[in-house]
Amino acid sequence: MPDQALPIQLHVQWVFGPKGYIESGTLSLINHGEYSLEGAKLCVSGMVRFTTATPVSGALLLEAISNYAVFVPEQNSPPTPETTWCIELGEPDYPMRHYTEGLVSAYLCLADGVLVTVPITKTTAQQGSVTHTPKSLIEAPSEAAESVLSDDIACDSWSLVPYPNDVTLQGSREVPSGLDFGLPTLQWQAAVANFTSLAAQLFPQESWYKPQSSNSLAVEFSDATGFTKEQYRLSFHPDHVTVMASHASGFLYGLISLGQLLRNSINESSIAFPATGEINDQPAHEWRGCHLDVARQFYGVDTIEQFLCVMAWNKLNRFHWHLSDDEAWRVEIKAYPELTDVGAWRGHDKAIPPVLGAGSQTIGGFYTQQQVSTLVESAARLGIIVVPELDMPGHSYAALQSIAELADPLEPDSYRSLQGFPNNCLNPLRAETYTFIERVLEELLPLFPGNIWHVGADEVPDTAWHAAPSINQSSANNFATARSLQAVFLKRLHAMLTQRGVTTGAWQEAANDEGISTDNSYLVAWLDADIAKHLASCGYQVVVSAGQAYYLDMAMADEWSEPGLAWAGSVSLEKSYGFDPTEGWDEYLKHRCMGVQACIWSEQMTNTAVFDYLVFPRLSAMAETAWTHKHNKDWKRFSALCKTMPTLFNS
């Protein structure tokens, strides 16, 4: 049914309890019109979750799947014209501390099936006698902006993020108007093309990266011997600068450093451009990654292209692409068109309800295999390897809703995931599970020449599968826990990938019951820093992505007015920057740390302003740890320079 508009609005007020989390709330549906809403249902969605155990008065909770809930009036007494329907709610199913964890959308489903969008016109939180409102994330620019660098920073630092590891620059010169690459020989043409394309994508209104007719800086190139793949050298001379490297990635990173120096000195009077000297640089960590969840919120091809450019400007080199979850399946599989016909969309009366604030209108999207190939090629030109993730065996609600044969028809609705989805795990003892995975891998593996595949393996509920006849009737029923059953699944999936010459990645839970061996694999440690050290001591190659530093959906401060989540505490920019991923590790364990990775989980990213506010510049803080050796880091310098870095949406 088409969405209609009526003079109805919803006010939401939350109340804090003594422990600092929301303990109750009131939804006030105000009917300003002349319409009776008899037979209407109020449908709400966001991050907050209600269950049949949630105390409710003034309404009946008719349906709840994850964070989508449907309420009907008590005793069939709908709000009549010019009245207010108040729904009193007890403590949510999941601890809630920040405004983005509340409601995002609401609509009415009228008795005749017509859908009516209900604007949420007021959201507040009461804490004692104080009323809080959401923070404004878009601030008007100041007419007289402060200089980026104070005098004490400008005198001994250069405008580079992440900061190089060996800098011997001296003096300053008149700022060039642009870069003149002349006519580079064939071996360097690709580096120039990749850099100029990157700069044009990030800074379309600027022209410093193009050859200039006057006062331009000549750029020369030189092959290096003995340099690592990502190592580069910039040598500054009175009339030119030389970029030296041995690989395309090194040349690109050298040009990015040169581009940062020039762009920032053009745009900011307090930033000097060097006269002479050198930058000799190479990264501290091999793995400098960022994860992006496109299942909870969908980002189109153009946005992914732009995000890859932002990553490259931060000298990041691994894009962990989270392509499936409970809320959506985002990649075309020709053997299973229903995965995207059904699983890529959310909406009223759809197989996947409008969770995470989707509202009454159907929303979603997916990437075709041709689009995937194009994005992977774009990433490669920027020195980035794309690591796809299809999350299994848990977080598979979208796949199970799309393909009927994946679900055990005799398994009752017996368990819920942490996010409130019923029966969301692929069954590890059904042949249909592995037929499905084989066909998916057959189509997708050729699209990702980096030969790394992330299998997920996180957050399987402890009660998963145990009501399924295929589990109870199997000779494997001596496996007493969901952990041991997942280990059966992961061993088989790991073997599939190893046989195909592919490295298996997974979240930290894959180590449970030795589900994934230490051979040809790596694990991403996300819960805390101690987990990463433990996994390294068990022999795993580890990527550190501790929630307390690198989960960019965490709120930056404790106040309710701040956007973000709270399960890992608040993560300020300074805290993220100062985090040492291998603190307390001996040298033997440090060799097992592949690097670090930020994670962008998209539940909170309901608009572009929230995305930019939470992700930037914390992404650059992680990037500097990834590239810059600990003794070369400086918080005061970084906190000034990070203002020069691009964001994704310019919100």
Which residues have C-beta within 8 Å of that of residue 551, sequence separation ≥ 6? 526, 545, 565, 568, 571, 598, 599, 601
Question: What value does the mean pLDDT take over residues 16-23?
Answer: 94
**Beta strand pairing call for 167-170 and 103-109:** unpaired
User: What is the DSSP track for 555-597?
Assistant: -SSSSTTS-SB-TT----HHHHHH--TTTT--HHHHTTEEEEE
Q: What is the pLDDT of residues 171-201, one digit of tens each?
A: 999 999 999 998 778 778 899 999 999 999 9
Residue 25: what pLDDT? 97
Question: What value does the mean pLDDT take over residues 24-47?
Answer: 90
Check if the beta carbon of residue 130 is closer than 8 Å to that of residue 560: no
CA dist., res. 173 & res. 157, Å (int): 15
Closest CA to 176 of 262, 239, 271: 262
CA dist., res. 575 & res. 149, Å (int): 21
Q: How confident is the model at residue 149 (pLDDT cuts 50, 70, 90)?
A: low
Question: What value does the mean pLDDT take over residues 445-464?
Answer: 97
Q: Is 650 exposed, middle or buried (0-12, 13-18, 19+ CB in 10 A)?
A: exposed
Last residue of a domain, one of 281, 303, 319: 281
Do 345 and 408 have their domain in common? yes
CA dist., res. 192 & res. 255, Å (int): 8
3-state secondary structure 361-418: CCEECCECHHHHHHHHHHHHHCCCEEEEEEEECCCCHHHHHHCHHHCCCCCCCCCECC
158 lies in a domain?
A: no
Question: What value does the mean pLDDT take over residues 369-377?
Answer: 98
How many other CB atoms sit within 10 Å of the CB of residue 358?
A: 25
501 lies in a domain?
A: yes
CA dist., res. 427 & res. 446, Å (int): 26
Q: What is the pLDDT of residues 464-480, one digit of tens each?
A: 998 888 787 665 556 67
Q: How confident is the model at residue 143 (pLDDT cuts 50, 70, 90)?
A: very low
Q: How confident is the model at residue 36 (pLDDT cuts 50, 70, 90)?
A: confident
Question: What value does the mean pLDDT take over residues 160-168?
Answer: 97
Assess whether the previous peptide bond of 393 is cis (omega < 30° from 0): yes
CA dist., res. 73 & res. 58, Å (int): 6
Q: How many residues does the chain have?
A: 651
CA dist., res. 193 & res. 554, Å (int): 37
pTM of the model: 0.96
**pLDDT surpassing 70 at residue 326:** yes
Last residue of a domain, one of 281, 303, 329: 281
Residue 123: what pLDDT? 95
Mean pLDDT is lowest, of 135-144, 178-187, 319-328, 407-416, for 135-144
**pLDDT surpassing 80 at residue 4:** no
Last residue of a domain, one of 281, 298, 319: 281
147 lies in a domain?
A: no
Do 273 and 294 have their domain in common? no
Question: What value does the mean pLDDT take over residues 340-350?
Answer: 97
* DSSP E strand boundaries for 462-565: 503-507, 521-525, 542-544
Residue 70: which CATH number?
Answer: 2.60.40.290
Do 329 and 431 have their domain in common? yes
- pLDDT > 70: percent of the chain: 94
Do 58 and 114 have their domain in common? yes
Question: What value does the mean pLDDT take over residues 332-356?
Answer: 97
Do 321 and 259 have their domain in common? no
Amino acid identity, residue 63?
E
Lateral strand order in the sheet of 103-109:
3-4, 115-117, 103-109, 41-46, 68-73, 59-65
Do 329 and 415 have their domain in common? yes
Q: What is the pLDDT of residues 206-222, one digit of tens each?
A: 988 887 667 899 999 99
Amino acid identity, residue 498?
T
**pLDDT surpassing 50 at residue 140:** no
Do 110 and 31 have their domain in common? yes
Q: What is the pLDDT of residues 280-306, one digit of tens each?
A: 999 999 999 999 999 999 999 999 999
Which residues have C-beta within 8 Å of that of residue 482, sequence separation ≥ 6? 425, 460, 461, 462, 463, 464, 465, 466
Do 307 and 331 have their domain in common? yes
**pLDDT surpassing 50 at residue 161:** yes
Do 29 and 87 have their domain in common? yes
Amino acid identity, residue 41?
K
Residue 155: what pLDDT? 45
Counted domains in the chain: 3
CA dist., res. 468 & res. 404, Å (int): 15
Which residues have C-beta within 8 Å of that of residue 285, sequence separation ≥ 6? 593, 594, 595, 596, 625, 626, 627
Question: What value does the mean pLDDT take over residues 489-497?
Answer: 97
Closest CA to 46 of 14, 16, 17: 14
Which residues have C-beta within 8 Å of that of residue 118, sequence separation ≥ 6? 8, 9, 10, 29, 42, 106, 107, 108
Q: What is the pLDDT of residues 66-95, one digit of tens each?
A: 999 999 998 756 667 778 899 999 999 989
Mean pLDDT is lowest, of 49-63, 141-155, 301-315, 374-388, for 141-155
**pLDDT surpassing 70 at residue 166:** yes
Residue 255: which CATH number?
Answer: 3.30.379.10
Q: What is the pLDDT of residues 566-578, one digit of tens each?
A: 999 999 999 999 9
Amino acid identity, residue 508?
Q
139 lies in a domain?
A: no
Do 267 and 375 have their domain in common? no
Do 271 and 385 have their domain in common? no
151 lies in a domain?
A: no
Q: At which residue do the structure tokens 């990433």 appear?
A: 379
**pLDDT surpassing 50 at residue 2:** no
CA end-to-end distance (rounded Å), the chain: 34
Mean pLDDT over each residue of the chain, to the nearest integer? 93
Give the domain extent around 119: 3-132
Do 277 and 291 have their domain in common? no
156 lies in a domain?
A: no
Mean pLDDT is lowest, of 34-48, 161-175, 216-230, 298-312, for 34-48
463 lies in a domain?
A: yes
User: What is the DSSP track for 27-44?
Assistant: EEEEE-SS---TT-EEEE
Residue 33: what pLDDT? 78
143 lies in a domain?
A: no
